Structure 1
């Protein structure tokens, strides 16, 4: 049986010796092109490098097939060389829509950011943050005293969100998680699940005495007064997974880890 034809593919690798060596091996084994000419990107590294690659390729929207040369590798496939054409031909495509963050500073400055995993709001000093939360223009939590709060996508639900005791969400759930970080008051509030069309507005109640920062992947804004967060469906990120390592299955498995 004839081997499937390879698409025009570009190789991108993390700066680690392992990833750089793997890129050299793949480049000798299979034909590659520059990223500007590619139909598909092969990303070699860990989850952090995959996020970096997704951000870098966002304007073109190319499918990205990652191979793990990092630690966890939640967003990547196992590394392999010889069967690459067959793996790409069988790969399943998963579409992700990132979060859009619009942060307004205490000086009125506005900064926009994109988050594939989550947008996080943190206290900047030893004192807890005091936050008010609105959902779709309705006040839902007049005061939350905490270390912070985050809004996570399903793809990011097994990352920082899970460490903060937030829920794991299947990709097809069409939900976003609102998860507090070390809440002090109300003590028993453990967060909420909202439709992915919800718009979150987080206002800092005491920005001078209790300053707060906002982070969306690589964008950090300090001394914020208000943060707006929503899913940006105009951006469609495409990840490719081997059938046996499909992202949906990984998220499902995480819910049964003892």
Structure 2
């Protein structure tokens, strides 16, 4: 029977010892086996999981495990900001994959004392005795942890020790300004340094990218000049596959949007080179000097932009979720205005309101459709959402920025006469009953700019 290996943990942050375990398991997978890493959501019994934003924890897991072949990362707990216990995770995956054996990967410290019913599983896990007796565990031995055979659960397989290390040691070293190069991969170390994680400091303003560029070059293949520039840059840098620390995007805002939606889980800065019309999210550059400029020691400014997390229900009752970088909206499907109930953070604000379009945008998307509909222009990274409407029939309505944590829901009223359809970054979702829009807890993109790029001036010139 094929197996599904579930490796859950806080990974706060993931170290080389975590990566070694995953690499060892991945190397032994059968053709139909699967290996899934599950970073846990906020835990009331483990306050350190709340020290970082959920987005930073998601990024660290993607950087640590995302490039290991055949490894999947389930960000559900982080996206929903919940802590799902192992008993429930097991039930969920058994329902999803009834023809697979579910195996849980845990450390030897979790089972220590099991012979006397004193293991962490017995003492603190939900349905601990049942979990101990029924679940199949892969127990990886840890240096310095004493675990005798009598401590092991009834259904187990042992994984021999790999590397020494602990997340707590990594956090302590960072706080004490000590090197962590021997405990984490370069990608993890660079991300932690760039965002000043675990330092006790709160970042204000853009981050600084001061690394030697190893770019993945992505050029809009519909334009011969962008293809030629892309080839020159690729030939100049020759970055090995999977070792890039930034993504150079050559094209316009639309191509940048497409690239971000496709590659955001690489969690490296997107450095845009403008070959479009406005290029608000990109940098102007001199084609004759760009290779030398990128090969010199650059100090880029990076702004982190959260994507939108959208949930929607079609008229047939089918529910789906997706991400948007710029905006999401509902509009009329017929010649009549739509009647929409609008809720914010679960509270009804308009019931109903008549309009042609209701749109929510990110700061990065505020210079697109939102601006054309009368919204404010925001610099990328601004912690605000935009809610705007077109042809709104209400004396109480006004387009306005909203706090980044606001959740917006559009519900169709009188759907038979006034059908409502939805869009996500311009992608049609069809006729909908409702749409929920909020900031994603896990999906972010870093936009990189040259020091001389003046975003405020670009906004004023729109």
* TM-score (normalizing by structure 2): 0.51
CA–CA separation in structure 1 for the residues paired with 2:285 and 2:225? 11
Q: Specify the SS of the correspondent of 2:256.
A: helix
Q: What residue is the counterpart of 1:8 in the other structure?
A: 214
Q: What residue is the counterpart of 2:440 in the other structure?
A: 232
1:111-148 CA-to-partner distances (Å, cap 9, x unmatched) read 21211111111111111111010011111111111111
CA–CA separation in structure 1 for the residues paired with 2:387 and 2:376? 9
- Do structure 1's residue 143 and structure 2's residue 352 form an aligned pair? yes
CA–CA separation in structure 1 for the residues paired with 2:260 and 2:366? 17
Call closer, same or farther: CA 1:120–1:34 in 2, change over 3 Å. farther
8 Å CA contact 1:11, 1:32 repeated in 2: no
Deviation at 1:187, TM superposition (A): 4.8
Q: Specify the SS of the correspondent of 2:284.
A: coil
- Do structure 1's residue 93 and structure 2's residue 318 form an aligned pair? no
Call closer, same or farther: CA 1:208–1:35 in 2, change over 3 Å. farther
Higher strand share: 1
Call closer, same or farther: CA 1:194–1:152 in 2, change over 3 Å. same
8 Å CA contact 2:364, 2:381 repeated in 1: no
8 Å CA contact 1:202, 1:226 repeated in 2: yes
Q: What residue is the counterpart of 2:238 in the other structure?
A: 32
Q: Specify the SS of the correspondent of 1:221.
A: strand
8 Å CA contact 1:92, 1:246 repeated in 2: no
1:51-200 correspondence runs (5 A): 51-80=257-286, 81=290, 82-86=292-296, 89-171=298-380, 173-183=382-392, 185-187=393-395, 189-200=397-408
CA–CA separation in structure 1 for the residues paired with 2:279 and 2:402? 27
**Paired residues, what number?**
248
Once the two structures are overlaid, the 10-residue window that deviates more, 17-26 or 199-208, is 17-26
Higher helix share: 2
Q: Specify the SS of the correspondent of 2:434.
A: strand
8 Å CA contact 2:331, 2:421 repeated in 1: yes
Q: Specify the SS of the correspondent of 1:233.
A: strand
Deviation at 1:188, TM superposition (A): 5.8
- Do structure 1's residue 21 and structure 2's residue 231 form an aligned pair? no
CA–CA separation in structure 2 for the residues paired with 1:125 and 1:235? 34
Structure 2 residue ranges without an equivalent (≥5):
1-209
Q: Specify the SS of the correspondent of 2:320.
A: strand
8 Å CA contact 2:339, 2:352 repeated in 1: yes
CA–CA separation in structure 2 for the residues paired with 1:159 and 1:243? 24
CA–CA separation in structure 2 for the residues paired with 1:206 and 1:32? 58
Structure 1 residue ranges without an equivalent (≥5):
none
